[in-house]
Chains A and B, each alone.
Chain A
Amino acid sequence: MNNFSLYGIRLTIITISLFVITILFCYTVDPFSAYGRIYLQNGAEVNSPGFSYQLRMGKAIAIKRIKPTALIMGSSRSAWGLSPEIANKHFTNKKVYNSAYPAVTMYEILRYFQHTVASAPLKHAYIGLDFYGFHGGRPLASTFREKRLAVDINNQATLFGVSDFSTTLFSGDAVYYAIKVATGLFNKGDLYLTNGFKQLDQPSGGKYAFVSSEKQYINGTYTAPAFTFSTPNKNSSTTFDYFRKVVQLAHEKNIDLHFFISPSHARQWEVIDQLDLWSKWEYWKHEMLHITEQEGSHYKQNPIPIHDFSGYSSYSTESVPRKDGETVQWYSDSSHYKHNLGNILMAEMLQGSGENSFGRILNPKNIKQHLDSINHDKKQYQLSHPQDVLDIQHLVEKRRK
């Protein structure tokens, strides 16, 4: 045997061995809980600590495995603000799954809704809606992959799972997180339960949390690129088309769907106002209502309800801390509500009348009065909270300069 043949044999054996060792290690540790590995943390069954770094992959796989009958969706507001208690309290006889994702767009909501409908006997769904999710210029999350979802945009089955074999067993990320999990070098605060709910509440917002979140919205989320409902997608002119598809699918499959507009802090609404997006914000609600009404009458079913928790309430106008060490009760920052408010929201949506001061079901008769009332509350808030208004003004002006 000459040197080259021997070298070739050695090279082949070593290469294959390294691949096999890598795959076995990643499979055993299962850093993203893609193969059903469950860990125990404070007596609760949680996903692997790496799960939170690949939420969009981990939850897509889990939905396929768990086959939930009830679904919660939305952005990080729904991912972090709705507590696991909700599952025990309101969904005792149902398999509920929290399929909410940070920085989610309406397109992704549609695609994950389609994925769940195709993968599970879904009966109930509660989708948190956020204005920024309808910004058609926002890019999809870098971890979003079409191929991993059970169906394509036209609800045709796809070859599920192929694209995630490499990510879960055969990638630098898998090895990196497997080592971190195996050696315990993880932030345990980010753990997710096996039903997709985040185990721990977010810390209460302090002096800096609010401004830091608002900066992000003012300098990026709403403005770069400039806010638009139009999409670059050839088949959908606006993000409302995605919303409409969700509504249609729910009607077609007789799914008891509820939309709810997240109850962010009043300073978040102030950001929208000062960026001159208020009229778009109102149009957004009008248009969504228009679509649910239109599709309801098309399918001869009750329109899908939209519960509006946005606007001004005793929760959302909670004073923001001005000193070090002070915190708020209901929010972790001006975008995200905490578990306590999430619990109230859920109870109101599932058991309330929909006519309370916190949360209102929109309909063609009350929409104008409802939006006028929010507008009126906004003016009151601006008069009674001049410092908060100045804070936002300062950030917006800085951006404009």
Chain B
Amino acid sequence: MLFNSYEFIFAFLPITLLGFYLIGAKSHHRTAMAWLVGASLFFYGWWNPSYLSVIVISMLFNYAVGTILSGAGKSKLLLTFAVAINLAALAYYKYFNFFIDNLNNLADTSFNIEKIFLPLALSFFTFQQIAYLIDTYRNETREYNFLSYCLFVTFFPQLIAGPIVHHKEMLPQFAKDSLYKLSYRHLIIGFSIFALGFFKKAVLADGTSEYVNLTFMLAEGKTPLTFFAAWAGSLCYAFQLYFDFSGYSDMAIGIARMFGIILPMNFNSPYKSINITVFWRRWHMTLSRFLRDYLYIPLGGNRKGKTRQLINLMLTMVLGGFWHGAGWNFALWGLLHGAYLIIHNTWVSLAKRLGIKIPRIIAWWITISAVLFAWVPFRATTLDGTINLWRAMLGMNGFYLPKWMASYSYGAEAWLAEHQIVFVGIFHNVGSTKLMDILWFVLLFIVTFFIPNTQQLMHKYRPVFEKKRFYTLNKQKLFWRPNFAWAFFTAFLFVYATLSLTRMSEFLYFQF
């Protein structure tokens, strides 16, 4: 069931909320929790009931191992075995087809296996449980009952695509008695966050998909794109992915809040970052946190010298790339970001030594360009497509400029044409440019770069788990408060997004 579907918004969510609070009001807290687990499993099974067995087995196995690890049976061998089993399941479902295909290509063999379908959210709940096991081994968890554990893994707002939650954040919240009492405050704050996310996904992200699809389809076909059209395509994809995934995260955070649960922050205006390290502190923050705590630091982090630190960075990013999917394009994306981080890391030391400081606007421009360049393999389905688009972005296919600019060429048109600069309209071989498209692009640009993000708008009401403020508090006049203007605006966003549902589309991050 998608968050952006009629059945979820008008049936599943209201019924689940009603059941939870009705049961909770009678002080049957464990029953209310069981209701929520049942609802979450129903939500998960809606896509494909056969995958329910995967998540249930995974939960049973990890809880059993966790119980042993927290008691007398604590052993590193058991932990290693359990983590290996989790990773093996992930490897089988997610990477086995990919491995066989590559083996066949490399060794010229012809192993033929049926396509293995990836159970939804496997990458997400596997990571959450690996973290739980490791922390149990480190004595960083408390004793929790099985029901709480099941809810921690299956809690439907964050089950499918995060935010990737940590047991320390979730399990203590489930134990609070106040959770089971209906709170208008939580309900209203939650709904308002949900409405913002819903609008981001259903209107802003889905409304941008057309140009993105067209650009990448052309890049993967035989139509050579030119400089500006290619950058516009990559930028539109950046917008689409950001509004899609951050919209999804807001919806998850909002829904959880309606149940009184506060989830961790997942996005903090990443495209406003002025360097790539900051970008990774602001993009898919719960994944970055997981990779840092359970991969980068165990690999040695920055404690084993500069060279080792840079290698660790690269390894973390390449593996992070692979986490997104079984494809070399994701590895390439990770590789690029690894390289960016190494360059930035080296640059910081050098700049400090030389006393150089880059103006913020230039630092931002370099960062966003690098990010856009790297999104290409993330979205393109073939290496040819990536290369074609990169060639265009590097100006190797020439430049199309607006027709009106021809009158300012002062007779140099022929000479410019020889150097592949022609005045035929920026999107000449892509399609006609309509005024609405330009206005849409401007709207996305303003929302991304100039409007406070959801957490900033809602900051007075603790929208996310982190108490530490990751963001600035500019433009406070725009901040959310329970007044008439916001009631009207929230209702408008919700109704507008609902009207867009007939063009329902899945969240991009579900594929990972």
Contact = CB atoms under 8 A, between A and B. Distances in A.
Interface of A: 2-8, 10-11, 14-15, 18-19, 22, 166-167, 170-175
A48 to B, nearest CB: 18
Interface of B: 6, 184-185, 187-188, 191, 482-484, 486-488, 490-492, 494-496, 498-503
Contacts of A4: 184-185, 188, 482
Nearest to B189: A4
Nearest to A2: B184
A174 B495 CA distance: 14
A10 B495 CA distance: 14
8 contacts: A6-B482, A8-B184, A8-B188, A14-B488, A19-B495, A19-B498, A166-B502, A171-B500
A167 B488 contact: no
A10 B499 contact: no
Name B's interface SS: helix
Given A7-B487, A10-B487, 4 more contacts: A4-B185, A15-B491, A22-B499, A171-B500
Contacts of B487: 7, 10-11, 14
A18 B503 contact: no
A19 B495 CA distance: 7
Contacts of B500: 171-172
Name A's interface SS: helix
Contacts of A8: 184, 187-188
A7 B485 CA distance: 10
| Of listed A11, A15, A171, A173, residue having the most chain B CB within 10 A | A11
Nearest to B492: A18
Nearest to A21: B495
Nearest to B6: A166
Contacts of B187: 8
A232 B398 CA distance: 41
A15 B495 contact: yes
Contacts of B494: 15
Contact of B502 (A10, A11, A173): A173
Nearest to A142: B503
B491 A18 contact: yes
A14 B494 CA distance: 11
Given A6-B482, A7-B483, A14 B188 contact: no
A173 B495 CA distance: 14
Contact of A3 (B482, B491, B492, B495): B482
Contacts of A11: 188, 191, 487, 490-491
B10 to A, nearest CB: 10
Given A3-B482, A18-B492, A167 B191 contact: no
A167 B188 contact: no
Contacts of A15: 491, 494-495
Contacts of B6: 166
Contacts of A167: 502
B490 A171 contact: no
Contacts of A173: 502-503
Contacts of B488: 10, 14
A11 to B, nearest CB: 4
B147 to A, nearest CB: 30
Given A11-B487, A172-B503, A5 B184 contact: yes
A7 B499 contact: no
A203 to B, nearest CB: 21
A14 B191 CA distance: 14
Contacts of B484: 10
A14 B486 CA distance: 11
Nearest to A164: B502
A171 B188 contact: no
A171 B502 CA distance: 6
A177 to B, nearest CB: 12
